[in-house]
Amino acid sequence: MRTSIFNNFADLPKEFREDVQRLWQMPKQVRLKLISHAANVAKARTSNDRKLATDEATQGTKQSPADLLKVLKLLLYVYEAWNPIRDSPESFQKDLADLGLIPVKKKAECKLFLDNFLAQVAKDNTYRLEKMFAVSLLPSYQSCATLVDMRTVIRNPFGAGLKDKLAEYEPQCVGFVPVVLVKINRDSGDPPSFSFQCEEDALERMIEVLQATLKDLQAAKGSLQEGAKQP
């Protein structure tokens, strides 16, 4: 059975082959160090952590930062496209060779890198399987963004009276009220994101519900662990 990389190769941009070649042109030690950097970036759960992990990958080397970022992006593509059911390190290496992506003169050196890199990728197979089943039915939360907006409070706003005339309208600002704007991004679905607003008390209630759900989650996990211990 062919791996994901083989099945998707025809749809990949030409830069993919160029980045593979760029990977093999790098010094062996630089290549090997990128394995842990790629794993750190892939496991980052926030955009800030991902940026920090990416910046760390370009430090302490004489290689071009642009080349390092392109190769890192390539490794991340493999890392994130890996299918824990269909893909295996052995079949992946075979498919790369069949696609002409492993230079013959560096075959042993390339195999050393791929053995180490794909072993790191395969370490997360359990996590990937869990994610596959967790997101199998509904769109999943991806990220969120918030903003505090101060709304102006106008005494007797235009249109409040039946005979309001613009020429006679003299608005008076009597204060401000804070409102929280929230945008939720999902990994799929239509639309992929949605926004809403809420006041401070509603935000506090939402936070309480989420914190209570964390306690529910810990209780459920603890119950499963206790059940597994029983004969």
Per-residue DSSP letters for the chain?
A: ---HHHHTGGGS-HHHHHHHHHHHHS-HHHHHHHHHHHHHHHH--SHHHHHHHHHHHTSS-SS-HHHHHHHHHHHHHHHHH--TTT--HHHHHHHHHHTT-S-GGGHHHHHHHHHHHHHHHHTTHHHHHHHHHHTSSS--EEEEEEEEEEEEEEES-TTSSTT--GGG---EEEEEEEEEEEEEEESSSSSSEEEEEE-HHHHHHHHHHHHHHHHHHHHHHHHHHHHHH--
- For 135, phi then psi, to 5°, come to -105, 15
Q: Between residues 213 and 7, which one has the greater pLDDT?
A: 213
> How many residues are recorded in the chain?
231
Tell me what pLDDT residue 42 has: 85
Say whether pLDDT at 154 is over 70: yes
**Does the structure show a pLDDT above 90 at 158?**
no
Q: Which two tokens stand for residue 2?
A: 């062919």
The predicted-structure confidence for 181-199, as pLDDT tens digits, reads as follows 999 998 777 888 999 999 9
Could you give the CA distance from residue 136 to residue 187 in angstroms, rounded to a whole number? 12
Query: Using CA atoms, how far apart are residues 101 and 77, in angstroms rounded to an integer?
Result: 15
Chain Cα centroid distance, residue 189 = 16
Q: Which residue has the tokens 């099945």?
A: 7
Nearest alpha-carbon partner for 117 in 42, 55, 15: 42
pLDDT band at 221 (very low <50, low <70, confident <90, very high): confident
| CA distances from residue 218 to 81, 204, 211, 215, 224 in whole angstroms, order as listed | 30, 21, 11, 5, 10
Look at 114 and 62; give whichever has higher pLDDT: 114
Give residue 164's pLDDT band: very low, low, confident or very high (50, 70, 90).
confident
User: Tell me: the pLDDT tens digits for 25-80?
Assistant: 999 989 999 999 998 888 887 778 888 888 888 887 788 889 999 999 999 988 88
Where residue 112 falls among pLDDT bands split at 50, 70, 90?
very high
Q: Round the average pLDDT of the chain to a whole number and report it.
A: 86
On the question of pLDDT at 128 being above 90, the answer is no
> What is the pTM assigned to this prediction?
0.60
- In this predicted structure, the answer to whether residue 137 has a pLDDT above a threshold of 70 is no
Q: Round to whole Å and give the CA distance between 82 and 211.
A: 33
More confident residue, 211 or 100: 211
146 Cβ contact list (under 8 Å, min separation 6): 180, 181, 182, 183
Mean pLDDT is lowest, of 15-29, 45-59, 126-140, for 126-140
- State both tokens at 6: 């083989």
Is-contact 213 220, C-beta < 8 A? no
